[in-house]
Amino acid sequence: MQLYTLDSKIRRTEVLDRYESLIWTERYSEVGDFELEIVSTPQNRALLSIGTQLALSESDRIMTVETRENNLDSDGRRMLKVKGPSLDDTLNERICSGGLPLGLEPGTWKLTGTPQQIIEQLMYNGLYNDPSDAIPYFTNGTLYPAETIPNDTNVYTIQRPFGNLYETLKELVDMWELGFRLYRGPDTSKIYFSAYTGNDRTTQQNTLTPVIFSPSLDSLQNVTEYASIAGSKNIVEVRGELTTVRVYASGATADAVNFSRRIIYVDAKDVKGTTTPAIVAELTARGQEELTKHRTIRAFDGEVSQNSQYRYNVDYLLGDLVEMRNDDGLTNQMKVTEQIFVSDAEGDRSYPTLATKLFITPGSWYSWDTNQVWFDATKTWVTA
């Protein structure tokens, strides 16, 4: 992998190829970071001054030098260690205020739309209270093709106080399980933003080649299992000023009477008015938002092997759904939340961090397509 410095127009300039170690991490829904250790020479110190931006041949993200340490290592060599965040951290230096419709309360904004529409309005319109706040080279549009995981088409109304743009954006993408990326074009002096869902690369679809991490495929090791309902809720009672609604998680019903009912109360007295479709929709959205914070956790996890046959940006991307299987047939649908690049004395390597999306038990409906023995299968083998 090749590491580059960028000029003032975010175009690649110098190649940094004689470093001791590099750890470069990009993330699905939060700021990435890097750490580089290189021999301290006048040339390297000049190239890696505070504020220098870096690019990696395997990535379209930008990292910025924010911290620089110059000292002797254990062998008496003078080494330069630099580190810093990805370009997404720029959003921490911006305030969402100007350009957004005002909310019902003073000092608030209010947006209505699908999750992607709200986040894009927030990004494209929310930070321009002052023309100087604009992100350099920021351009509408995206260079990525459409993802195969469907977008949430429900319409929500979100009201939040003016404040830090990154913190607001982070809260919303976590609530809706979206990712976001602020990235550079290929030496075109353009920066793009998109909120995205990722691609489905599990065996539950037939559009893309499945990506399966498993001990039997030598792509998964050190597997552990975990289950918990601590903190989970399946019913939310949302009480407005004059209207109350109950919102149910998948599998929970209004007439079920058993010990599995786990109810949480939400005070929404700021929602004024009697029962109307608009009021019910507003309260229902509050309930759905609360349910996303109280999910049941059942999962197993493992370490992706360095010998995995799957390659980042070829077989999978950040945000994609992949499968992780153990030797008992238990399957997790996992979200790719990080991609880590490492280069040091041991060589170059890259591997993902995976987070649980869906737990599939053998024999369940979700495993129906993949739990058959060859002689019991009813489908016909077809040669392309």
Give the chain's mean pLDDT: 84
Same domain for 186 and 128: yes
> Which CATH number is 165's domain given?
3.55.50
Residues 58-74 have pLDDT tens digits of 999 999 999 999 998 88
**pTM here?**
0.74
List, for residues 213-262, the tens digit of each pLDDT value.
887 776 666 666 666 778 888 899 999 999 999 999 877 877 766 778 88
Weakest-pLDDT range from 4-18, 102-116, 234-248, 357-371:
357-371
Q: Are residues 245 and 322 in the same domain?
A: no
Residues 26 and 75 in one domain: yes
Range of the domain at 323: 212-228+297-335+357-376
The 10s digit of each residue's pLDDT in 314-341 is 999 999 999 887 766 677 788 899 999 9
pLDDT value of residue 372: 38
Report the pLDDT value the prediction gives residue 301, as an integer from 0 to 100: 54
Which is higher by pLDDT, 44 or 104? 44
Judge if 263 and 281 occupy the same domain.
yes
In a domain, 206, yes or no: no
pLDDT tens for each residue of 263-307: 899 999 998 888 888 899 889 989 988 887 887 765 555 666 666
| Rounded Cα–Cα distance for residues 108 and 103 (Å) | 5
Among 85, 101, 136, the domain-final residue is 85
What secondary structure, in 3-state letters, does the chain show?
CCEEEECCCCCEEEEECCEEEEEEEEECCCCCEEEEEEECCHHHHHHCCCCCEEEECCCCCCEECCEEEEEECCCCCEEEEEEEEEHHHHHHHCEECCCCCECCCCCEEEEEECHHHHHHHHHHHCCCCCHHHCCCCECCCCCCCCCCCCCCCCCEEEEEECEEHHHHHHHHHHHHCCEEEEEECCCCCCEEEEEECCCECCCCCCCCCCCEECHHHCCEEEEEEEEECCCCCCEEEEECCCCEEEEECCCCCCCCCCCCCCEEEEECCCCCCCCCHHHHHHHHHHHHHHHCCCCCEEEEEEEECCCCCCCECCCECCCCEEEEECCCCCEEEEEEEEEEEEEECCEEEEEEEEEEEEEECCCCHHHHHHCCCHHHCCCCCCCC
Same structural domain, 327 and 310: yes
State yes or no: pLDDT of 128 exceeds 70.
no
Same domain, 271 and 315: no
53, 34: one domain: yes
- The confidence score (pLDDT) of residue 376 equals 41
pLDDT at 218: 66
Query: What's the total number of domains in the chain?
Result: 4
Of the listed ranges 161-170, 188-197, 203-212, 303-312, the one predicted with least confidence: 303-312
